């Protein structure tokens, strides 16, 4: 048995949504698309299941699970993802100074989520029970 999961779209993920919005505001018309296209770009459960079946697996069950993420601050979310997610970081560095962009995104994310500890829903589609 294989347990497989994918992230839902950015719109359903509180932290990803504010990070992407922050970058769009900071970097203008050509913000990095890594978050939208890579971790959140394979979100259609029907497509995922069809791809798995095409690969020779059988999906015995599928469910959606909503998780709640927490962080000490909204700024921590921005710093963690801007500097610690390789694809995201590379896209930022190609367009702007990483430290400056991270500080601006942290300011945007804090404006949207507030100061202090924060939490947000992070929807994920999970497809358990796969077998060859």
Digit-coded pLDDT (tens) for 42-57 = 888 888 888 888 998 8
| Contact in structure between 16 and 35 (CB atoms under 8 Å) | yes
Domains and CATH numbers, the chain: 2-131 (3.40.50.150)
Provide the pLDDT for residue 98: 92
pLDDT at 126 exceeding the cut of 50? no
What pLDDT, in 10s, does the model give residues 55-112?
A: 988 877 777 788 888 889 988 988 998 899 888 888 889 888 999 989 988 888 888 8
Of 30 and 92, more confident: 92
Confidence of residue 28 (pLDDT cuts 50, 70, 90): confident
Of 126 and 61, more confident: 61
- pTM here is 0.71
């Amino acid at each position: 048995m294989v347990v497989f999961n994918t992230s839902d779209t950015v719109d359903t993920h509180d932290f990803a949504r504010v990070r992407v919005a922050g970058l769009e505001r900071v970097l203008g018309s050509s913000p990095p698309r890594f978050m939208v296209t890579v971790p959140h770009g394979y979100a259609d459960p029907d497509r995922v299941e069809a791809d798995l079946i095409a690969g020779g697996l059988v999906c015995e069950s599928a469910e959606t699970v909503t998780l709640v993420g927490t962080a000490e601050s909204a700024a921590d979310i921005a710093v963690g993802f801007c500097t610690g997610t390789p694809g995201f970081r590379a896209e930022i560095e190609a367009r702007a100074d990483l430290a400056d962009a991270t500080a601006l995104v942290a300011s945007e994310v804090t404006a949207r989520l507030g100061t202090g500890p924060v939490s947000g829903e992070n929807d994920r589609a999970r497809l358990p029970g796969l077998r060859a």
